[in-house]
Amino acid sequence: MARTIAKDHAEKRLAILGKAAEFFAANGYERSSMNQLAEACGVSKALIYHYYNSKEALLYDIVHTHLSDLLDTLLAVDQAATSPDDTLRGLVQAILLAYRDADAEHKVQTAAMASLPDEQRAVLADLQRQMVAIVADILKAITPEVYAQNPEKLRPVAMTLFGMVNWFYMWHRPAKGLSREDYADLVTDLVLGGVRGL
């Protein structure tokens, strides 16, 4: 007989993911053991192994869930109802707001993704490429003439935008300085001014 899945299976999995991301971000993926992780999560090691057969599988799910959520966030931005400028502003706002409670996941993604096997890294890299493509398409719509003459500049401009938002967590302190929304406007204004000056 097939084993039934508990009603709170998904909630427990997400709770483990969140705590594991915080633990890996604070202690380093390579230096973290499943025993330490179980203690940090407040669960038994057996329960973690009920969800994940290895530390690597847990790492992959942290990063895959994080990137999938980000991609879904970008895909949910309504591009048809706004101008390309406003769509870019909406995308940058969406990214920074999605990052609000995901600093640990983002840190784990940047620091530990290289620990995964090639086939898993390829899946994650594809999610990243899809996000970059969404931003690049909007940038191209803003100044199509620039990229018609210099198509090689499109990806670097898109990656520069991601560079500005991806490292926000390194220096931003809540309730100090610019809010996420204000910083999103600043990034958008810098990018719009910059691409029109190319």
pLDDT in tens, 169-192: 888 888 888 899 999 999 999 999
Q: What is the spatial distance between Cα 172 and Cα 177, in angstroms, rounded to a whole number?
A: 8
Global pTM value: 0.89
Question: Residues 16-49: pLDDT tens digits?
Answer: 999 999 999 999 999 999 999 999 988 999 999 9
Specify the pLDDT at position 56.
95
Predicted confidence band of residue 6 (pLDDT cuts 50, 70, 90) = low
Specify the pLDDT at position 173.
86
Sign of CA dihedral 189, 195, 196, 198: positive
Which of 5-14, 58-67, 130-139 comes out lowest in average pLDDT?
5-14
Specify the pLDDT at position 3.
47
Name, in order, each residue with C-beta under 8 angstroms of 159's C-beta and a sequence gap of 6 or more.
Answer: 132
Q: What is the spatial distance between Cα 5 and Cα 10, in angstroms, rounded to a whole number?
A: 9
Question: Residues 65-80: pLDDT tens digits?
Answer: 999 999 999 999 988 8
Domains annotated for the chain, with CATH where assigned, are 54-196 (1.10.357.10)
The whole-number average pLDDT for the span 52-65 is 95
CB atoms within 10 A of CB 129: 11
Residue pair 67/127 in contact by the 8 Å Cβ criterion? yes
Q: What is the spatial distance between Cα 109 and Cα 124, in angstroms, rounded to a whole number?
A: 10
Radius of gyration of the chain (CA): 19
Is the predicted pLDDT of residue 5 greater than 70, yes or no? no
Is the predicted pLDDT of residue 96 greater than 80, yes or no? yes
The pair of structure tokens assigned to 186 is 């600043």
- What are the angstrom distances between the C-alpha of 189 and each of 14, 23, 101, 142, 182? 36, 36, 24, 13, 11
DSSP at 113: G
- What are the angstrom distances between the C-alpha of 179 and each of 60, 96, 149, 171? 31, 10, 37, 12
Q: What is the spatial distance between Cα 103 and Cα 90, in angstroms, rounded to a whole number?
A: 20
- By residue count, the chain amounts to 198
Is the predicted pLDDT of residue 135 greater than 50, yes or no? yes
Q: What is the spatial distance between Cα 111 and Cα 161, in angstroms, rounded to a whole number?
A: 20
Q: What is the spatial distance between Cα 130 and Cα 59, in angstroms, rounded to a whole number?
A: 21
The pair of structure tokens assigned to 67 is 């990137």
